[in-house]
Amino acid sequence: MTIEPLKLVSSRTLVLTSSNIDTDQIMPAKFLSMTTQNGLGVHVFSNLRYTDDGTLTNHELNSVSGKTCKILVAGDNFGCGSSREHAPWGLTDYGFRVIISSSIADIFKANALKNGLLPVTINIDVHEWLLRNPGVYVTVNLETCLVELPSGMGSHSFEIDSFSRYCLLEGLDEMGYLLAQSDQISEFEDR
């Protein structure tokens, strides 16, 4: 099985400056009751996007230009909290392919990587610049592991483990890799 390969993402950024944006905010628990994973994009950040009676707010996430953003820049420690994969499902269904922050929570990061959503941890100076300049045009290049900023702000490298990078570039999921280890797993079980 394949996921959509990710090599180069160029887009305006959508910025959420808050730090510690938890997965309850990204995908509130009332949307976890479904038994499928499609169509969660309308619920992502629902508390920011809808008023109590369900009408749309004027948040950028609801704007036409917001929906063309493939890169979300968020405050420090993005994705903390619950292990719900509904959070990356919602973010990718909305249209995001990259999350940039100064730090990203472990379980969220693992879940994002399995859904063609690239978590990019970048140094604090670049992160702060991106937070201060919402809507700038940024290119994230997974082949060179560089975030390219506009207007002479240069290119900045980010780190990603080579296996996750390979899977994203090729659009491979990990299931096939694990299934291919079946004999080694059997040997382990027989020990």
Partner 1 sequence: MRKTLFDKVWLKHVVVPETETHPATIFIDLHLIHEVTSPQAFTLLSNRGLGVRRPDLTLATIDHSTPTLVNHDGSRPYVSDEARIQVETLLKNTKKFGIETHGWDSEYRGIVHVMGPELGATHPGATIVCGDSHTSTHGAFGAIAFGIGTTQVGHVLANQCILMKKPKTMAINVNGKLNRGVTPKDVILHIISLIGIGGGTGYAIEYRGNVFEEMSMDGRMTVCNMSIEAGARCGMIAPDAVTFEFLKNRKYTPPNYENSCAEWLSLSTDEGALFDKEVNIEADMIKPMVTYGTHPGMGIPIDSFIPKSNNSAEKDSLNYMQINEGDKILGIKVDKVFIGSCTNSRMDDLRAAASVFNKKKIASHVKALVVPGSAQIKALAEKEGLDKIFMDAGAEWREAGCSMCLGMNGDIGLPGELIVSTSNRNFMGRQGPGVRTILASPETAASTAIAGILEDPRNSKKIK
Interface residues toward partner 1, by CB under 8 A: 1, 17-20, 22, 24-25, 28-30, 32-37, 47, 52, 75-77, 80-85, 88, 103, 105-107, 110-111, 114-115, 161-163, 166, 173-175, 177-179, 181-182, 184-185, 188-189
CB of 155 to partner 1, least distance (A): 24
Q: 3-state class of 41 per DSSP?
A: helix
Nearer to partner 1, 19 or 139 (CB): 19
Nearer to partner 1, 21 or 149 (CB): 21
CB of 174 to partner 1, least distance (A): 6
* Pairing status of strand 8-16 against strand 71-74: parallel
Q: Give, to the nearest 10 degrees, the angle between helix 162-170 and helix 106-113.
A: 30
CB of 20 to partner 1, least distance (A): 5
Count how many Cα atoms sit within 13 Å of the Cα of residue 151 in the half-sphere of its side chain: 5
Nearer to partner 1, 55 or 182 (CB): 182
Nearer to partner 1, 55 or 184 (CB): 184
Q: Which residue has the tokens 């390979």?
A: 166
Please say whether the beta carbons of 92 and 115 come within 8 A: yes
CB of 66 to partner 1, least distance (A): 20
Residues 6+ apart with CB under 8 A from 18: 74, 75
* Pairing status of strand 71-74 against strand 118-121: unpaired
